[in-house]
Amino acid sequence: MPSPRRNVEGRPLGASASSSSSGGGGGGPGSPTHGGGGGGSSSSSSSSSSRFEFQSLLGSRGSGADPTCARLRLSESPVHRRGSFPLAGAGPSQAPPPPLPEEDRMDLNPSFLGIALRSLLAIDLWLSKKLGVCAGESSSWGSVRPLMKLLEISGHGIPWLLGTLYCLSRSDSWAGREVLMNLLFALLLDLLLVALLKGLVRRRRPAHNQMDMFFTLSVDKYSFPSGHATRAALVSRFILNHLVLAIPLRVLVVLWAFILGLSRVLLGRHNVTDVAFGFLMGYMQYSIVDYCWLSPHNAPLLFALWNQQ
């Protein structure tokens, strides 16, 4: 239905005509009804016309406004912010996202064991960096680095394997061959277990380490556990149990194993936990060797082949 025509002031044409005719005989601006002859009726009609003009003005603004602005004003209202009324032009309500799986959720309440392990790892990294005083020539103890590298060679696996094979070829007693055969078995077992564990854990070496070791394999780029520490603990325990040595020599063997493990941290090759676990692993490896002790009684074929050579 079309809206009634309005004059310049915003009032309908019919309303203005009726108001002028009901003024009591003259409907012009100078008539008594318009100028103040009938006070009550003129004031009430003027107030109602003012309200009508204000409502028509609001209607004209609302009808010509941008619908986007109207939606923005509606979204800014406190009623809409509370979510009481949806937007007029909004699309269909979206379903809430599905819950995340357990492995993708953030653990807001970590266990005490997890906190303890993270704290231990942070202390390990900090202490290893502080003790790496021989990691480079420009370090605080850089002048001692050549001596530490010589000590590193004394605990390397290749010199021990070659030395054991040479002594085994030169031995002429069954007792000596038995001890050397088990020492060779212990060294090979140590190399196998350390390489397997390094490949499983794959912990990187410290960032301040320089890869200038004597001889390296593919798994030597990993740090956990320290192969020198495992070998030092294994060989020292083997020597102390199967060789008759004086007390000063026994103390020297233990001191060599301890300094060798410490040199791994000073050179920046390993962290403290790598060396500590290496000592424990080497100590337990000897128990395996002692349990599987090779002798002419339980391995006669092996000793017979070596005797023929």
Residue 235, both tokens:
């060989």
Catalytic residue among 34, 156, 208, 270: 270
Do 293 and 225 fall within a single domain? Answer: yes
Do 93 and 218 fall within a single domain? Answer: no
Residue 297: the pLDDT is: 83
In a domain, 125, yes or no: no
The yes-or-no answer on residue 270 being catalytic is: yes
Tally of structural domains, the chain: 2
In a domain, 122, yes or no: no
Structural domain containing residue 101: 19-110
Give residue 113's identity as a one-letter amino acid code.
Answer: L
Do 55 and 106 fall within a single domain? Answer: yes
The yes-or-no answer on residue 80 being catalytic is: no
Do 173 and 302 fall within a single domain? Answer: yes
In a domain, 115, yes or no: no
CB 263 within 8 A of CB 129: no
State the average pLDDT over residues 34-61: 50
Angstrom distance (rounded) from CA 99 to CA 106:
12
Picking from 43, 75, 110, the residue at the C-terminal end of a domain is 110
Do 138 and 195 fall within a single domain? Answer: yes
Do 69 and 160 fall within a single domain? Answer: no
For the chain, percent of residues with pLDDT exceeding 90: 36
In a domain, 121, yes or no: no
In a domain, 8, yes or no: no
State the average pLDDT over residues 82-98: 53
Do 91 and 211 fall within a single domain? Answer: no
Distances (CA, A) of 266 to 30, 100, 156, 225, 261: 111, 46, 16, 16, 9
Do 260 and 294 fall within a single domain? Answer: yes
Check residues 63 and 213 and name the one with the higher pLDDT: 213
Residue 250, both tokens:
């026994």
Q: Which of 51-60, 78-87, 119-128, 266-275 shows the lowest per-residue confidence on average (mean pLDDT)?
A: 78-87
Do 158 and 199 fall within a single domain? Answer: yes
Do 146 and 284 fall within a single domain? Answer: yes
Answer yes or no: is pLDDT of 21 > 50.
Answer: no
Catalytic residue among 208, 228, 242, 297: 228
Q: What is the pTM of this model?
A: 0.62
